[in-house]
Amino acid sequence: MSRPLYADINLQALQHNYHLAQQCAPNAKAIAIVKADAYGHGAVQVAQALVNDAPAFGVATIEEALTLREASIQTPILLLEGFFESSEIELLHEHQLWCSLHSEWQLQMLEACDQEGNLTLWLKVDSGMHRLGFCPDDALAQVIERLKGLKAVGQLGLMTHFARADEADNPYTSRQIELMKALAAQYQLPLCIANSPATMQFPEAQGDWVRPGIMLYGASPLPTGHPVGDQLQTVMTLRSKLISVRELPAGEPIGYGGRFVTPQTPTRIGVVAAGYGDGYPRHAVDGTPVLVNGQRVPLAGRVSMDMLTVDLSDQPNAQPGDDVVLWGEGLDINEVAAACDTISYTLMTGLLPRVPRRYR
Ligand X SMILES: *Cc1c(COP(=O)(O)O)cnc(C)c1O
Residues that bind ligand X (CB under 6 A): 33, 35, 80, 161, 195-196, 211-214, 221
**Pairing state of beta strands 191-194 and 253-254?**
unpaired
Closer to ligand X at the Cβ: 66 or 163?
163
Nearest position to ligand X, beta carbon: 213
101: left (phi over 0), alpha (psi -120 to 50) or beta: beta
Annotated active-site residue 29? The verdict is: no
Closer to ligand X at the Cβ: 212 or 301?
212
Closer to ligand X at the Cβ: 162 or 276?
162
The DSSP code sequence of 253-281 is EESGGG-EE--SS-EEEEEES--TTTT--
C-beta of residue 253 within 8 angstroms of C-beta of residue 240: no
Please tell me which residue in 18, 35, 241, 276 is annotated as part of the active site.
35
* Least gap, CB of 56 to ligand X (angstroms): 12
Annotated active-site residue 35? The verdict is: yes
Q: To the nearest 10°, the Cα dihedral for 13, 234, 351, 288?
A: -170
C-alpha 329/C-alpha 331 separation (Å) is 6
* Least gap, CB of 212 to ligand X (angstroms): 5
C-alpha 301/C-alpha 321 separation (Å) is 21
* Least gap, CB of 92 to ligand X (angstroms): 17
Closer to ligand X at the Cβ: 198 or 318?
198
* Least gap, CB of 193 to ligand X (angstroms): 9
Closer to ligand X at the Cβ: 80 or 271?
80
> Is position 175 annotated in a ligand binding site?
no
> Is position 305 annotated in a ligand binding site?
yes
Nearest 5°: the CA angle 105, 107, 109 is 70
* Least gap, CB of 147 to ligand X (angstroms): 19
* Least gap, CB of 25 to ligand X (angstroms): 12
For 320, the 3-state DSSP assignment is coil
Distances (CA, A) of 18 to 3, 26, 203, 307: 32, 12, 16, 34
Closer to ligand X at the Cβ: 62 or 307?
62
Please tell me which residue in 148, 172, 256, 359 is annotated as part of the active site.
256
C-alpha 220/C-alpha 344 separation (Å) is 9
The count of other CB atoms within 10 Å of the CB of residue 135 is: 11
Helix, strand and coil content of the chain, in percent to the nearest 5, comes to 30, 25, 45
C-alpha 63/C-alpha 44 separation (Å) is 12
* Binding-site positions: 131, 305
Which residues are known catalytic residues? 35, 256
* Binding-site positions for substrate: 131, 305
